[in-house]
Structure 1
Amino acid sequence: MSITLADARVVTPDGVHEGWLTIEDGRITHVGQGAAPGPGLDLAGRYVVPGFVDIHNHGGAGGSFPSGDPEQARAAADLHSRHGTTTLVASLVTASLDDLASAAAALAELCEDGLLAGIHFEGPYIAAARCGAHDPALLREPSPRELARLIKAGRGHVRMVTLAAELPGALDTVREAVAGGVIAALGHSDASYEQTIAGIDAGGSVATHLYNAMPPLHHRDPGPIAALLQDERVTVELINDGVHLHPAMTRLAFTTAGPARTALITDAMAAAGMGDGVYGLGPMSVNVIDGVARLAEGGAIAGSTLTMDVAFRRAVREVGLSLTEAAGISSLTPARVLGLDDRLGSITAGKQADLVVLSDDLEVSGVMRRGSWITEPR
């Protein structure tokens, strides 16, 4: 089946073009400017951007990926897909090794079904001083042998693990991850600048939610932020919800790391798409008040209620990025992190037809995944 989207403002890596695109068998076949060569769905000048790629997400719609419950996972994935996320990595939180292995095995089935793009272990190999919403009683020193067990439980679908570079065994565990084809992310860390560089040298290539759960920048003690921002080998995650970060800090990261090394994430938890109330994040209880998630005990920020369309919109309106730049850091760069940028992440002929239709106000009007509408343009 062939689909033509006409009279669209198409956001490509080269800029925003008034034109059209055609889709056949789930792939983009042509991207053109001006009037479409034949009849098609008239988008009346709405924007078309690539489907969002979220590489750090704990849940939504009341569902939690750390629960390992397939129905909860499906509910969460459905919520985020309706907000434009067409590629989604399910993030777990610190738990016992048995619980992590069990959750990974359950989520692996959803990866095999194509619903999820992979699994991310955020913990248990993180620093107690920077554990945030993770249960400190369940933290462990990094172990290559333990990580190998967790990777095996995920049946080839574990895509990323977050570690604190300063912990005993961390560097060997980073090497184990990379050798197993898993992205080593550095975060939830109290590391020095030098310790962070050592983690990068060992193979760390992602900064887990830069700025958050790590020491702040200091002119005599730069810490992990400076190391992660400056190193060309590292892609930095940013939670652009206006709660975790001031827009100026998001802009600083984007300006320093550039579009090729900046990836928007949601770090969403079960309350995304829901109202205020009490929710779970792994074993921890979370209060959501005015859309902000905090631990019931201690008050630490506990993930977010963010969706990627809001992160994209804030990138344009609050941070001051162009539509092309915002599309790059919410789609193409995270796709590159996952090694999927050859098939998705931009509106380019030959790539998967993962698309989001946006109104003039950058509100989601329609979502397409692999050439089929999840929500038809309205």
Structure 2
Amino acid sequence: MTSGTVTFRNGALFDGARLRTGHVIVFRDGAPAVLLPEETATPEGQVIDLNGDILCPGYVDLQVNGGDGVMFNDDPSVDTIRRIAEAHRRLGVASLLPTLITDTPEKTQAAIAAAIQAMREGVPGVAGLHLEGPHLSVARKGAHDGALIRPMEATDLEALIEAAEQLPCLKVTLAPESVSEQQVRALADAGILVSLGHSDADFTTCQRYAAAGARCVTHLFNAMSQMGNREPGLVGAALATGDLSAGLIADGVHVHPEVMRAAWAAKTGPGRIFLVSDAMAIAGTDQTAFELEGRRITRTDGRLTLEDGTLAGADLDLTAAIRTLVKQVGVPLSDALYAATTYPASLIGGAVSRPLRIEAMIRISADLRTCGWLSAQR
């Protein structure tokens, strides 16, 4: 717990819903106590001049494959989860879902066991688990190993439901090509966050699966059926279906800024577009290459690619994603911050209206290029 009184001035405050400028905020013993227009406020205790920077709750990232030089797939253990979470905390992430991409049944079970144990040990920043595959479409496999993609069997369904009983959040990315509507309904009834992705399914099929309980779409536009003049595909279903929300890799590489602009304007609510990093092992490092299950991935000019040029995750953090949305796409700053904090938190059961705490706040530079934890700056 944080003790004492701290006043922040000369900056902006994002309170999880609104961006407030021209105000002073006073924290007493870690909790916000006073929020007043700067011209009428009297600073108390330690006074920190933000110099135009932004106070914001820590980010929530629902798709994190690796960080600090390691991939979850390489060693699905509590130690790996802890190392990844620590790396992303340095990048401003308060909560994340360690993400296992398509792998063997044995590796999947190890990932589930590691996530459950990480929650029992209270590893900071871990909010559950995201299994991206293996029940996908080979036609839209992207960087996933097509040899490991397979239909969902009864034993898989039982294992996922059992895992969901022991995790605060289990997110599963799947494709209609490999999973039935009945299975999706059973997953959703068990409280699992079902996300459609890596799929070539048509618009009508995707809408049926949303009606069966799917609530998200994984990395909108990437590894999915595209929007055409006669067939809207999964992209069209994501934008037209209010019950679906969609993760977006806003690096300007995976999706062109003008496409992001059109999608942002077209999205039907109440579902929204939210930001994900899809971060790989290089997150938080200066590494130029790494391996994923024996396949070399190279980092060049903001891209991560396999040897054949296929994009393999993203060289991205959420501060950079916010900058892309604001500077290149034209999204209001408050909406971009919401897409990196409050909205993804609500999807995994985070309290939208939870009280702000100073130890959970980050300071984002005015140019949207860097961020740091307030607790480390005092």
Same fold? TM cut 0.5: yes
Match of 1:347 in 2: none
SS at structure 2 position matched to 1:204: coil
Asked if 2 retains the 8 angstrom alpha-carbon contact of 1:60 and 1:272, the reply is yes
Question: 167, 173, 180: which is aligned to 1:156?
Answer: 167
SS at structure 1 position matched to 2:372: strand
Question: 5, 13, 19: which is aligned to 1:15?
Answer: 19
Q: Is 2:271 the partner of 1:269?
A: no
What CA deviation, in whole Å up to 9, does each residue of 1:237-257 have, x standing for no partner?
100011101111111222122
Q: Is 2:127 the partner of 1:127?
A: no
Match of 2:325 in 1: 315
Change beyond 3 A, Cα 1:105–1:359: same
Structure 2: runs of 5+ lacking an equivalent: none
70-79 vs 119-128, which deviates more? 70-79
Q: Is 2:190 the partner of 1:184?
A: no
Looking at structure 2, the residues matched to 238 and 306 of structure 1 have their Cα atoms a distance apart, in angstroms, of 12
Asked if 2 retains the 8 angstrom alpha-carbon contact of 1:165 and 1:191, the reply is yes
Asked if 1 retains the 8 angstrom alpha-carbon contact of 2:215 and 2:244, the reply is yes
What CA deviation, in whole Å up to 9, does each residue of 1:4-62 have, x standing for no partner?
24203212423332223344565545544323552233133321122111111111120
The residue type equivalent to 2:8 in the other structure is A
Match of 1:172 in 2: 182
Question: 101, 104, 128: which is aligned to 2:109?
Answer: 101
Change beyond 3 A, Cα 1:176–1:24: farther
- Normalised by the length of structure 2, the TM-score is 0.89
Q: Is 2:369 the partner of 1:358?
A: no
SS at structure 2 position matched to 1:185: strand
Q: Is 2:209 the partner of 1:206?
A: no
Change beyond 3 A, Cα 1:101–1:173: same
Asked if 2 retains the 8 angstrom alpha-carbon contact of 1:163 and 1:170, the reply is no
Match of 1:293 in 2: 304
What CA deviation, in whole Å up to 9, does each residue of 1:149-175 have, x standing for no partner?
1453563244200010233x4312211
Question: 71, 96, 99: which is aligned to 2:79?
Answer: 71
Change beyond 3 A, Cα 1:201–1:258: closer
Looking at structure 2, the residues matched to 216 and 367 of structure 1 have their Cα atoms a distance apart, in angstroms, of 39
Looking at structure 2, the residues matched to 133 and 64 of structure 1 have their Cα atoms a distance apart, in angstroms, of 14
The residue type equivalent to 2:277 in the other structure is T
Q: What's the RMSD between the two structures over aligned residues? A: 2.2
Change beyond 3 A, Cα 1:319–1:288: same
Looking at structure 2, the residues matched to 164 and 27 of structure 1 have their Cα atoms a distance apart, in angstroms, of 44
Structure 1 residue 364: deviation in Å?
2.7
38-47 vs 19-28, which deviates more? 19-28
SS at structure 1 position matched to 2:344: helix
What CA deviation, in whole Å up to 9, does each residue of 1:291-311 have, x standing for no partner?
311123x33111012111111
SS at structure 2 position matched to 1:176: helix
Looking at structure 2, the residues matched to 25 and 63 of structure 1 have their Cα atoms a distance apart, in angstroms, of 37
Asked if 2 retains the 8 angstrom alpha-carbon contact of 1:166 and 1:189, the reply is yes
Change beyond 3 A, Cα 1:138–1:356: same
The residue type equivalent to 1:366 in the other structure is G
Match of 2:99 in 1: 91
Structure 1 residue 276: deviation in Å?
4.6
Q: Is 2:67 the partner of 1:60?
A: yes
The aligned length equals 365
Asked if 1 retains the 8 angstrom alpha-carbon contact of 2:12 and 2:19, the reply is no
SS at structure 1 position matched to 2:260: helix
Asked if 1 retains the 8 angstrom alpha-carbon contact of 2:59 and 2:92, the reply is yes
Structure with bigger RCO (C-alpha 8 Å, 6+ apart): 1
Asked if 2 retains the 8 angstrom alpha-carbon contact of 1:5 and 1:42, the reply is yes
Q: Is 2:344 the partner of 1:334?
A: yes
Structure 1 residue 230: deviation in Å?
0.9
SS at structure 2 position matched to 1:73: helix
SS at structure 2 position matched to 1:42: strand
Match of 1:304 in 2: 314
Looking at structure 1, the residues matched to 83 and 213 of structure 2 have their Cα atoms a distance apart, in angstroms, of 34
Q: Is 2:54 the partner of 1:50?
A: no
What CA deviation, in whole Å up to 9, does each residue of 1:316-360 have, x standing for no partner?
11111222111111111111111213355xxxxx24542221222
Asked if 2 retains the 8 angstrom alpha-carbon contact of 1:273 and 1:305, the reply is no
Change beyond 3 A, Cα 1:39–1:26: closer
Looking at structure 1, the residues matched to 34 and 161 of structure 2 have their Cα atoms a distance apart, in angstroms, of 39
Match of 2:8 in 1: 6
What CA deviation, in whole Å up to 9, does each residue of 1:191-211 have, x standing for no partner?
001110111011011010010
- Normalised by the length of structure 1, the TM-score is 0.89
Change beyond 3 A, Cα 1:153–1:39: same
